[in-house]
């Protein structure tokens, strides 16, 4: 089987770098295809850990393949895996990203979600490909520790999870996060819109929230808004 | 005078895009050198605003220059300005960035600071060049609304602002942000380390703070940590 540079319709993707690859090996061993290591990589501790975790999967020292797949990144270990399907857990809180458009942002958001124990992320299409190696790298491998799933539109998501209280983060909201109350006895979905366009006005209701900030900026950037919301939510519901 | 692609030792820099250029014109008109506009730019409202704000400064329609300076970015307006010096206000709260290494991160942080009314940022060398057009663009022009200043080392900063309570954000801290108390009657400096290495152990004291997060990630990313800290700080001290 010949491994090519990632495309959206590839049935496999890959983790670039030792740390994300170790996360892949720990969390999705069943989906591993193979591991490439650069011949100049000499960290015995990491090699030994990978050897322990790899099960029956092959390690191939292949500098040409590493250079091809890693492109401009400085990277010595790559894990190839079959893309997998992780439905969301209906008994847990969710983050819902409506039409996210930036791969680096999505990776950063995934990492923050794991940092605040939100392990279920809905991505409403159209949205970036969460299995793109750029997302995996920006997440620092955090993506392998949570459930992430596409939905064709927001209604489809809402119909599947009717019991989650939808907290839509919108500049049009009246209630500020600084005053908002989260009920730890109910399931919540923290819902965020696209980087440039936010959420549609039609989603504004009494559960909508704005993160109050000065009038000198139009908005906070998306991963920063998410981080703030996750912090406040986890503080109230832990 | 011939404008060349930005280098760290250039005496001028430039804002890429209409929005950051309007911020430049509003906040630093005295430092403006000239404005370039692409001939295909037809937004009359923006052109009229720029015309009102430009004072005696020239607008030049110059597609070749726009293409040269904007490189891969999609950009139609560029404002050239003299780099200026903005000492920090000793009567205001500060953010202190020790050895920041990523331009996009620095721009995002500047924008978040303005969003939470922190208008004084110290950058401890070595750190990225805050006048690099990449930083200005990532800040969306927010950099023009605040004071930002280099210090050769952290001690130099501390000696100049002895009355600021230094709150160092460190993974080694015992006190969590979730429990921390900020005294609104005292001046504060929120101090953050380099993306990869954080702050040196020697800065750990009773004022150090950790943003509590799950053990499943090593750390939050720097702009996300800053955003969370600014949110909590502003909530307590507004």
Summarised one tens digit per residue, pLDDT across range A206-218 is: 999 999 999 999 9
**Helix (H) or strand (E) run with residue A61 in it:** strand A59-61
How far is C-alpha B55 from the geometric centre of its chain's CA atoms? 26
Contact map slice: A 106-165 vs B, CB within 8 A = 108, 111-112, 114-117, 140, 142, 145
Angle at A27 between CA A64 and CA A7, to 5 degrees: 45
Do the Cβ atoms of A111 and B145 come within 8 Å? Answer: no
Q: How far apart are CA A199 and CA A8, in angstroms?
A: 25
Alpha-carbon torsion, ordered B100, B104, B107, B108, to 10 deg:
-100
Summarised one tens digit per residue, pLDDT across range A168-195 is: 999 999 999 999 999 999 999 999 999 9
- Residue B210 DSSP class: B
Report the complex ipTM.
Answer: 0.96
Do the Cβ atoms of B231 and A235 come within 8 Å? Answer: no
Contacts of B102 in chain A (CB under 8 A): none
- Secondary structure of residue B114 in the 3-state scheme: helix
Q: Do A148 and A123 touch, CB atoms closer than 8 A?
A: yes
Do the Cβ atoms of B216 and A115 come within 8 Å? Answer: yes
> Which residue of A lies nearest to B226 if distances are taken between CA atoms?
A224
Q: Do B12 and B57 touch, CB atoms closer than 8 A?
A: no
A178 to chain B, any CB pair closer than 8 A? The answer is yes
Range B176-194 burial, b when 16+ CB lie within 10 A, else e: ebbebebeeeebbbbbbbb
| pLDDT for A198 beyond 90 | yes
Summarised one tens digit per residue, pLDDT across range A3-39 is: 999 999 999 999 999 999 999 999 999 999 999 999 9
CA distances from A9 to A2, A34, B157 (A): 15, 19, 52
Angle at B67 between CA B38 and CA B106, to 5 degrees: 100
pTM for this model (two decimals): 0.96
pLDDT value for A84 = 98
Do the Cβ atoms of A214 and B145 come within 8 Å? Answer: no
Q: Which of A35, A33, A38 is nearest to A10 (CA)?
A: A33
Summarised one tens digit per residue, pLDDT across range A72-131 is: 778 999 999 999 999 999 999 999 999 999 999 999 999 999 999 999 999 999 999 999
Do the Cβ atoms of B221 and A117 come within 8 Å? Answer: no
Do the Cβ atoms of A221 and B223 come within 8 Å? Answer: yes
pLDDT along chain B (238 residues), means of 10: 93 96 96 95 94 90 94 88 98 98 98 98 98 97 98 98 98 96 97 97 98 96 98 95
DSSP string of A164-221, one letter each residue: SEEEEB-TT-SSBTTT----TTS-EEEEE-BTTTBS-GGG-STT-BB----TTSS---
Q: How far apart are CA A90 and CA A95, in angstroms?
A: 12
A77 to chain B, any CB pair closer than 8 A? The answer is no
Q: Do A14 and A81 touch, CB atoms closer than 8 A?
A: yes
Largest CA distance in chain A: 58
Region of A71 (left: φ > 0; alpha: ψ -120 to 50; beta: rest) is: left
DSSP string of B45-80, one letter each residue: HHHHHHHHH-TT--EEE-HHHHHHHHTTS--SEEEE
pLDDT value for A102 = 97
pLDDT value for A71 = 78
Q: Do A207 and A167 touch, CB atoms closer than 8 A?
A: yes
Rounded to a whole number of angstroms, the distance from the CA of A103 to the nearest CA of chain B is 14
Rounded to a whole number of angstroms, the distance from the CA of A214 to the nearest CA of chain B is 5
Q: How far apart are CA A4 and CA A64, in angstroms?
A: 12
pLDDT value for B58 = 86
Rounded to a whole number of angstroms, the distance from the CA of A114 to the nearest CA of chain B is 7
pLDDT value for B60 = 94
pLDDT value for A208 = 98
């Amino acid at each position: 089987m010949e491994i090519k540079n990632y495309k959206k319709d590839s049935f496999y993707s890959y983790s670039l770098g030792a740390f994300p690859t170790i996360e892949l090996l720990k969390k999705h061993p069943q989906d591993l295809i193979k591991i490439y290591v650069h011949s100049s990589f000499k960290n015995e501790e990491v090699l030994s850990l990978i050897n322990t975790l790899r099960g029956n999967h092959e390690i191939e020292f292949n500098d040409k393949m590493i250079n091809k797949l890693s492109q401009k990144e400085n990277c010595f270990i790559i894990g190839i895996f079959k893309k997998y399907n992780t439905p969301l857990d209906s008994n847990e809180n969710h983050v819902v990203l409506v039409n996210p458009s930036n791969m680096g942002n999505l990776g950063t958001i995934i990492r923050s979600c794991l940092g605040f124990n939100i392990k279920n992320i809905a991505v409403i299409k159209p949205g970036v490909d969460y299995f793109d190696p750029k997302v995996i790298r920006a997440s620092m491998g955090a993506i392998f520790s949570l459930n992430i799933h596409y939905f064709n539109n927001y209604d489809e998501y809402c119909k599947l999870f009717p019991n989650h209280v939808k907290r839509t983060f919108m500049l049009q909201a009246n209630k500020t996060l600084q005053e908002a109350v989260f009920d730890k006895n109910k399931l919540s979905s923290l819902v965020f819109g696209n980087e440039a366009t936010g959420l549609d006005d039609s989603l504004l209701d009494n559960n909508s929230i704005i993160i109050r900030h000065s009038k000198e900026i139009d908005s906070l950037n998306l991963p920063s808004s998410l981080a703030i919301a996750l912090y406040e939510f986890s503080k109230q519901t832990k």
